[in-house]
Chains A and B, each alone.
Chain A
Amino acid sequence: MNRSFHRSQTLRFPDCGAVEVKSKFGAEFRRFSLDRHKPGKFEDFYQLVVHTHHISNTEVTIGYADVHGDLLPINNDDNFCKAVSSASPLLRVFIQKREEADHDSFGPGSLPRRRKALVSLRDEGLRRRAQLRISSPHDFRPVSSVIDVDILPETHRRVRLYRHGCEKPLGFYIRDGTSVRVTPHGLDKVPGIFISRMVPGGLAESTGLLAVNDEVLEVNGIEVAGKTLDQVTDMMIANSHNLIVTVKPANQRNNVVRGGRTASSPGQPSDIVTGPPGPPPAHLLQNFHPDEMESDEEADIVIEGALEPQHPRKSQGPPPGSLPRANGASLVYRLQRDLTLSSPGRESIHKLLSSLKADPRHSLAFPQGGIEEHGPAVTL
Chain B
Amino acid sequence: MMKFRFRRQGADPQREKLKQELFAFNKTVEHGFPNQPSALAFDPELRIMAIGTRSGAVKIYGAPGVELTGLHRDPATVTQMHFLPGQGRLLTLLDDSSLHLWEITHQHGCARLEEVLSFQPPSRAGFDSASPLPNLTRITVVLLVAASDTAALGTEGGSVFFLDVPTLTLVEGQTVGPDDTLRSVPDDYRCGKTLGPVESLQAHPGDPTKILIGYSRGLLIVWDQAARGVDHIFLGNQQLESVCWGRGGSTIVSSHSDGSYAFWTMDAGGPLSLQPTVASTPYGPFPCKAISKILWRSCASGGHFTIFSGGMPRASYGDRHCVSVLRAETLVTLDFTSRVIDFFTVHSTSPEDEFDEPQALAVLLEEELVVLDLQTPGWPAVPAPYLAPLHSSAVTCSAHVASVPAKLWARLVSAGEQQSPQPASGALSWPITGGRNLAQEPSQRGLLLTGHEDGTVRFWDASGVALRPLYKLSTAGLFQTDCEHADSLAQAPEDDWPPFRKVGCFDPYSDDPRLGVQKVALCKYTGQMVVAGTAGQVLVLELSDTPSEQAVSVASVDLLQDREGFTWKGHGQLSPHVGPLPWPAGFQPRVLVQCLPPAAVTAVTLHTEWKLVAFGTSHGFGLFDYQRKSPVLARCTLHPNDSLAMEGPLSRVKSLKKSLRQSFRRIRKSRVSGKKRAANANSKLQEANAQLAEQACPHDVEMTPVQRRIEPRSADDSLSGVVRCLYFADTFLRDAGHHGPTMWAGTNSGSVFAYALEVPAACVGSEQRPERAVEAVLGKEVQLMHRAPVVAIAVLDGRGRPLPEPYEASRDLAQAPDMQGGHAVLIASEEQFKVFTLPKVSAKTKFKLTAHEGCRVRKVALATFASVACEDYVETCLACLTNLGDVHVFSVPGLRPQVHYPCIRKEDISGIASCVFTRHGQGFYLISPSEFERFSLSARNITEPLCSLDIRCPRDPLQARLPESPKLSQANGTPGIILATPSCEGSPDLAYNQGLTSSFPEPSEAMLSPASAGSATSADTTLDTTGDVTVEDVKEFLGFSEESEKNLRTLSEDEARACSTLIK
Residues of A within 8 A of B (CB): 148, 163, 169-176, 185-189, 196-197, 220-222, 224, 226-241, 243-244, 297-305, 307-310, 313, 316-318, 320-321, 323-325, 327-328, 330-331, 355-356, 358-360, 379-380
Contacts and interface: CB of A to CB of B under 8 A. Distances in A.
A170 B712 contact: yes
Contact of A328 (B630, B635, B733, B782): B635
B785 A307 contact: no
A135 to B, nearest CB: 29
A358 B708 contact: no
A360 B640 CA distance: 9
A320 B630 contact: yes
B778 A239 contact: no
A187 B1035 contact: yes
Nearest to B750: A300
Given A221-B5, A238-B850, A324-B775, A313 B758 contact: yes
A148 B1034 CA distance: 35
Contacts of A229: 706, 708
Nearest to B849: A238
B413 interface: no
B542 interface: no
Contacts of A169: 711
Interface string B766-808: 0000001111111111111110100000000000000000000
**Residue with the highest number of chain A CB atoms closer than 10 Å, among B740, B774, B884, B1037:** B884
Q: Which 9 pairs from chain A and chain B are nearest by CB? A: A231-B854, A298-B785, A221-B4, A317-B773, A240-B712, A320-B630, A238-B850, A233-B708, A238-B851
Contacts of B629: 320
B904 to A, nearest CB: 16
B961 interface: no
Given A175-B708, A220-B851, A302-B780, A328 B634 contact: yes
A238 B750 CA distance: 13
Given A305-B777, A323-B631, A324-B633, A231 B853 contact: yes
**Residue with the highest number of chain A CB atoms closer than 10 Å, among B707, B780, B853, B884:** B707
Nearest to B773: A317
A238 B831 contact: yes
B183 interface: no
Contacts of B632: 324
Contacts of B953: none
Contact of B1011 (A226, A318, A358): A226
Nearest to B1033: A185
A327 B734 CA distance: 16
Contacts of A299: 785, 843
**Residue with the highest number of chain B CB atoms closer than 10 Å, among A176, A229, A234:** A234
A224 B557 CA distance: 48
A243 B758 CA distance: 44
12 contacts: A172-B710, A185-B1037, A229-B708, A232-B708, A238-B831, A238-B851, A240-B710, A302-B783, A316-B773, A320-B628, A320-B773, A324-B632
A305 B777 CA distance: 8
Nearest to B1034: A185
A17 to B, nearest CB: 28
Contacts of A232: 708, 854
Interface string B614-637: 000000000000001111111110
B207 interface: no
Interface string B828-842: 000110100000011
A307 B781 contact: no
B1 interface: yes
Interface of B: 1, 4-5, 555, 557-558, 561, 628-636, 639-640, 703-704, 706-713, 715, 733-735, 737-738, 740, 754, 756, 758, 772-786, 788, 831-832, 834, 841-843, 848, 850-856, 884, 1011, 1031, 1034-1035, 1037-1039
Contacts of B758: 313
Given A300-B843, A307-B734, A186 B1031 contact: yes
Contact of A331 (B558, B778, B842, B856): B778
Nearest to B1029: A185
Contact of B782 (A238, A300, A307): A300
A173 B708 contact: yes
A175 B778 contact: no
B1026 to A, nearest CB: 14
A358 B783 CA distance: 13
B1038 A185 contact: yes
A239 B1037 CA distance: 37
Nearest to A244: B1
A317 B775 contact: yes
B13 to A, nearest CB: 26
B619 to A, nearest CB: 13
A148 B706 CA distance: 31
Contacts of B779: 304-305, 307
Contact of B734 (A172, A222, A310, A316): A310
A241 B674 CA distance: 38
A312 B862 CA distance: 35
**Residue with the highest number of chain A CB atoms closer than 10 Å, among B640, B710, B713, B740:** B710
Given A186-B1034, A186-B1035, A300-B783, A307 B756 contact: yes
Nearest to A221: B4
Contact of B851 (A186, A235, A330): A235
Contacts of A231: 853-855, 884
A6 B572 CA distance: 40
Nearest to A355: B783
A128 to B, nearest CB: 44
A160 B493 CA distance: 76
A222 B852 contact: yes
Nearest to B620: A328
B777 A173 contact: no
Nearest to A294: B1
A237 B640 contact: no
Nearest to B708: A233
Contacts of A220: 4, 851
A239 B851 contact: yes
A222 B884 CA distance: 18
A320 B774 CA distance: 10
Given A163-B712, A238-B786, A310-B740, A302 B640 contact: no
A321 B733 contact: no
Contacts of B704: 175, 196
Contact of A307 (B628, B733, B737, B856): B733
Contacts of A196: 704, 707
A148 to B, nearest CB: 7
A356 B4 contact: no
A300 B783 CA distance: 6
A302 to B, nearest CB: 4
Nearest to B1030: A186
Contacts of A148: 1
Given A238-B831, A238-B850, 7 more contacts: A171-B711, A185-B1038, A197-B707, A233-B710, A238-B832, A301-B781, A331-B781
Nearest to A224: B854
**Residue with the highest number of chain B CB atoms closer than 10 Å, among A189, A224, A231:** A231
A299 B738 CA distance: 27
A38 B850 CA distance: 50
A317 B633 CA distance: 12
Contacts of B773: 316-318, 320
Given A163-B712, A238-B851, A310-B740, A356 B778 contact: no
